[in-house]
Amino acid sequence: MFEDHQSEVAELMQRDAEFRSLYYRHRELDSKVRDAELGVLPIDDVTLRSMKFEKLHAKEKLTQMWESAQAAP
């Protein structure tokens, strides 16, 4: 997520604790979902679905925050 904008993301993470926290939570969920889908992390379908939903919600919020930060002077 935001791979093409690493320096801008790093700057935003320094300025905004909420963005930083949400960014790391999204990365954690991404890793867990990937591991669960590979069968490395044993997890039931309901929990996996919940994690995917939380990950999507985090991504949407991060995108909103990113767009707001880019629009600000």
**Rounded CA gap, 62 and 65, in Å?**
5
* pTM score, whole prediction: 0.87
Which residue bears the tokens 């629009």? Answer: 71
Tens-digit pLDDT profile for residues 13-51: 999 999 999 999 999 999 999 999 999 999 999 999 999
Domains in the chain: boundaries: 33-73
pLDDT at 14: 95
**Rounded CA gap, 23 and 70, in Å?**
16
Which residues, 6+ apart, have CB-to-CB distance to 21 below 8 Å?
A: none
**Rounded CA gap, 66 and 19, in Å?**
8
